[in-house]
Structure 1
Amino acid sequence: MKQVRNLILAAVLPISVLVSCGETQNKQTNESDKAWETADSIRALIVEPTFAKKDFVITEYGAGLDSTVLSTKAINGAIEACHADGGGRVVVPKGTFLTGAIHLKSNVNLHLEDGAKLLFSRDVEDYKPLVKTRWEGMECMNYSPLIYAYGEENIAITGNGILDGNANNEHWWPWKAKKEHGWVEGMDNQLAAVKKLTQDVKDRVPVEERVYGDGHFLRPPFIQPYNSSNILIADVKIINAPFWNINPVLCENVTVRNVSVVTHGPNNDGCNPESSKNVLIADCYFDTGDDCIAIKSGRNEDGREIGRPAENHIIENCEMKDGHGGIVLGSEISGGAKNIFAQNLKMDSPELDRILRIKTSSLRGGVIEDIYVRNIEVGTYKEAAVLVDMYYENPGDFMPTVRNITVENLNVKEGGKFGVLINAYEESPAENLRIINSTIEGVDVPIQANYTRGMKFDNVTINGKLVSEEDVQSSSEAEFETF
């Protein structure tokens, strides 16, 4: 029992407590090794849920193969029956089924058989009643996410079928108010609602009084388990999302495995675990209209007051194509983030903006620390391989902290504008960024950094030249430019 207790303590303590800071390459390598030992202890805490061997087939509850007729009532009826009977699988057989919001219950695995598709309605009436949700890190009452759970445990979405959000430049996406996504002057959009919700958060309006939905045009997330635990999302393909794709909020023990996300709408982030703990994202494919994986912990006052960091995340064996960033932390990161590990990734697209992206500001606050990234193979990208941006949004009164970031074995064949770009506050420099045993080719600006402390490059080659201490020093003395 003592060994188990020590293992759990190792998983939840900050890496900075568990390992010492070395100045030489050998010490830094040892530090990285110890960090990844901690990652292994975190992995032991993430256990996939299991389910009773009972099937509840949605066609037996009234779902029909006519894809123009809603099967929402039948699907949720099968879920209720499965839950009431102690759990099992709710099976979607081969065929296309039109549905509105699906609400998962404890001990239920929503399973899509080969050839099965859930096609989600474009009618907002099918996402009522309004539910408690997070929208870009802000709590409110809004349209239900397409697949939602609140306060549940042991839930899953599995199978080789397709989840089709049915969004495009005619439906859902124009609410963003971007012409490239179908919006034209005079059309309804989300801008006024986002401004109002941001003010509601600042004024600490009770969540139950932050009522949105009709007339506000805030697009619902695709999959959002909220305040839930023991979650598995595996094998499905997700396309045409209205908004964020996979967004666990305030959850614990989450596995996202072998999922394919292909959707290029506005804010079509692939997987955004938010204020969640013990998360594994493995063997997934992301080709998105926004960040591939973005780790979050709430926006501004909501994130700071709830105070739940993103912690103990492992990302591995994934492939990223298009997107604003491959591995991203922020910008809704006011609750902080710690113990984030990413390894064995492939990224390659001229439409992939960044490899590792940290975005925050003094409007957000929060501490981002103990981030470990290794074994990343990159064909090409557009803007920066490693980016720390503390000016992502307008300044405020909550200085963020970014520290203890190690990038190891990053290999880029043909980079974009920047190799490493650090845009930090003088009052809060980026601390202890270490890049080890890495090669970046074909960039315009190898390193540009304004305020850093303890930044180290060990055996790093950029554009065929070994980076020296003098190179690191001179990178902060040049005239600063951004994208």
Structure 2
Amino acid sequence: MKALLIGAACLLFAVSAVAQGKVWKSSAEPLAEIKTLRSLIKAPAFKKTDYLITKYGAVSGGMANNTKAINAAIDACSRAGGGRVIVPVGTWLTGAIYLKSNVNLHLADSAKIIFSRDTKDYPIVATRWEGMECMNYSALIYADGETNIAITGNGTLDGNADREHWWNWVYGGPAINQVTARNKLHDYMHQKTDPKTRVFGDGSFLRPNFIQFKNSRNIRIADVKITNSPMWIIHPLLSENIIVENVKVISHGPNNDGCDPESCKNVLIRNCLFDTGDDCIAIKSGRDEDGRRVARPAENHIIENCMMKDGHGGVSIGSEIAGGARNIYAINNIMDSKDLDRVLRLKTSSSRGGIIENVFMKDTKVGTYKDAALSFNMFYETPGNFMPTIRNIWVENLDVEKGGNFGVFVHAYPESPVQNLRVVNSNIRGVKIPVEVDHVANMAFDNVKINGTIATAINIK
């Protein structure tokens, strides 16, 4: 499986499969697609009417539970046609917040919302947990079927999780651990049971996400700092027209992905900081039977001008990707951490199936990473009977100061090689193994240096 780099200006390596789907001929094509997509993504607008949470009984200090007061302010705002619900300076303890249509939850500078550690403060709602549909705890901030919603302001959202609260459901022993419930949910999914009958909650230890907006449209999350999440952090689900911008996500717990758009369409993530315990950004579309049944791909995502630090992957697609992903564009991003595993990470398996296609990454500056700059793995989890497809990947102007184990890593099926992988005008320094691939079709390097040597031909061993 090892591959060595040798000699001249351009590489074309082909194996048995014939590529299908779109094939970009130059970067001008995806750049034009980005321009068109950007014009389709619009920020929601709100009435210029403010609703102060203290007018509805909220008390600062971090001791009084303000769940009823905050939700009452949101309800009043939405019923009156919308506006801003203002969280003023102070520390405000709350349970689950349900965000309603035409409401912008706005945190004043230095305002902090701290979320309760009491599971009774999180009602059971319809959700997806690791790509599987079920009834489980509400996200800390949740919406379902809403339109025109936002979270804005320079305040802080603190999920209040640590190794003794929420995260111990992963780290704890058999009496406090998610393994049994997680396995049960897998069984329900494989048996194709009605998701409404898959009821979890107290005693099951399936942690809630931080922000989950489900079946919703016209979403904006901007400027806030988010810390200490129980699990996935920003999780739009089955939603459309989404902007995440100028957000700072710093959370190092288990499964603390920074942003997980799942089965979403028309998504813009820009000018954000991600410093996380799992993938910085992980684009998803459901796991196995649930993902294939719902059949909603992730499509039309722009990721730009972001900073990624710690994480398993900077820009990741998968692993819950059974519904497929297409038209994913990552431009002008910076990544740098000895604890960042991979720059571009595609992870799937034959239990997932699905097609990942049309992935464009350009102008990426990387200080250091640990494992691979470009990683394409079709054996991420237990195999099944649904062959995955990865095709039409274009990486341009990738500049790495000090790499890790691999420059390019591909682990694919002989009957489903990675198709049309092109790397252009890139420089990867300091890697142990420049390229390690097994099954690819039409992989091209054009003006690519790895460890100071022009990458032009590959010998498979």
- TM-score, with normalisation over the residues of structure 1? 0.91
Deviations 1:52-100 (A, max 9, x none): 0000000000000131110000000000000000000000000000000
Instruction: Give the corresponding residue for 1:234.
Output: 222
What is the letter of the counterpart of residue 441 of structure 2? R
Deviations 1:302-337 (A, max 9, x none): 100110000000000000000000000000000000
Instruction: Give the corresponding residue for 1:143.
Output: 137
Matched, 1:158 2:152: yes
8 Å CA contact retained: 2:23, 2:392: no
Deviations 1:449-470 (A, max 9, x none): 000000000000000000112x
The secondary structure found in structure 2 opposite 1:375 is strand
Instruction: Give the corresponding residue for 1:53.
Output: 48
More helix by share: 1
Residue 121 of structure 1 is aligned with which of 116, 121, 127? Answer: 116
Instruction: Give the corresponding residue for 1:188.
Output: 176
What is the CA–CA distance in structure 1 between the aligned matches of 2:119 and 2:277, rounded to whole Å?
A: 23
What is the CA–CA distance in structure 2 between the aligned matches of 1:260 and 1:134, rounded to whole Å?
A: 24
Runs of 4+ deviating beyond 6 Å: none
Instruction: Give the corresponding residue for 1:69.
Output: 64
Residue 91 of structure 1 is aligned with which of 81, 86, 92? Answer: 86
Residue 329 of structure 1 is aligned with which of 295, 317, 333? Answer: 317
What is the CA–CA distance in structure 1 between the aligned matches of 2:412 and 2:404, rounded to whole Å?
A: 21
What is the CA–CA distance in structure 1 between the aligned matches of 2:61 and 2:258, rounded to whole Å?
A: 30
Instruction: Give the corresponding residue for 1:24.
Output: none
What is the CA–CA distance in structure 1 between the aligned matches of 2:23 and 2:272, rounded to whole Å?
A: 33
Give percent identity, aligned residues only.
59
Matched, 1:429 2:423: no
Instruction: Give the corresponding residue for 1:395.
Output: 383
What is the CA–CA distance in structure 1 between the aligned matches of 2:438 and 2:422, rounded to whole Å?
A: 16
What is the CA–CA distance in structure 2 between the aligned matches of 1:186 and 1:301, rounded to whole Å?
A: 28
Deviation for aligned residue 1:187: 3.7
Deviation for aligned residue 1:20: 5.3
8 Å CA contact retained: 2:377, 2:411: yes
What runs of 5+ residues in structure 2 fail to find an aligned partner? Answer: 1-19
What is the CA–CA distance in structure 2 between the aligned matches of 1:359 and 1:435, rounded to whole Å?
A: 19
The secondary structure found in structure 1 opposite 2:333 is strand
What runs of 5+ residues in structure 1 fail to find an aligned partner? Answer: 1-15, 22-27, 479-483
What is the CA–CA distance in structure 2 between the aligned matches of 1:20 and 1:156, rounded to whole Å?
A: 37
Matched, 1:446 2:434: yes
Instruction: Give the corresponding residue for 2:162.
Output: 168
8 Å CA contact retained: 2:249, 2:274: yes
The secondary structure found in structure 2 opposite 1:248 is strand
User: Which structure exhibits the higher relative contact order, with contacts defined as CA atoms closer than 8 Å and separated by 6 or more residues?
Assistant: 2
More strand by share: 2
Instruction: Give the corresponding residue for 1:106.
Output: 101
What is the letter of the counterpart of residue 310 of structure 1? A
Matched, 1:210 2:202: no
What is the CA–CA distance in structure 2 between the aligned matches of 1:143 and 1:82, rounded to whole Å?
A: 25
Instruction: Give the corresponding residue for 2:287.
Output: 299
What is the CA–CA distance in structure 2 between the aligned matches of 1:205 and 1:41, rounded to whole Å?
A: 40
Where do residues 335-346 of structure 1 align in structure 2 (5 Å cutoff)? 335-346=323-334
What is the letter of the counterpart of residue 36 of structure 1? L
Residue 231 of structure 2 is aligned with which of 243, 247, 251? Answer: 243
What is the CA–CA distance in structure 2 between the aligned matches of 1:334 and 1:242, rounded to whole Å?
A: 25
The alignment covers a number of residue pairs equal to 442
Deviation for aligned residue 1:301: 0.5
8 Å CA contact retained: 2:214, 2:239: yes
8 Å CA contact retained: 2:61, 2:90: no
8 Å CA contact retained: 2:414, 2:439: yes
Deviation for aligned residue 1:186: 4.2
What is the letter of the counterpart of residue 71 of structure 2? N
What is the CA–CA distance in structure 1 between the aligned matches of 2:221 and 2:380, rounded to whole Å?
A: 31
Instruction: Give the corresponding residue for 2:12.
Output: none
Residue 363 of structure 2 is aligned with which of 375, 399, 407? Answer: 375
What is the CA–CA distance in structure 1 between the aligned matches of 2:455 and 2:231, rounded to whole Å?
A: 41
The secondary structure found in structure 1 opposite 2:27 is helix
What is the letter of the counterpart of residue 79 of structure 2? A
What is the CA–CA distance in structure 2 between the aligned matches of 1:20 and 1:354, rounded to whole Å?
A: 25
Q: Give the superposed CA RMSD.
A: 0.9
Deviation for aligned residue 1:359: 0.2
What is the letter of the counterpart of residue 311 of structure 1? E
What is the CA–CA distance in structure 2 between the aligned matches of 1:448 and 1:348, rounded to whole Å?
A: 22
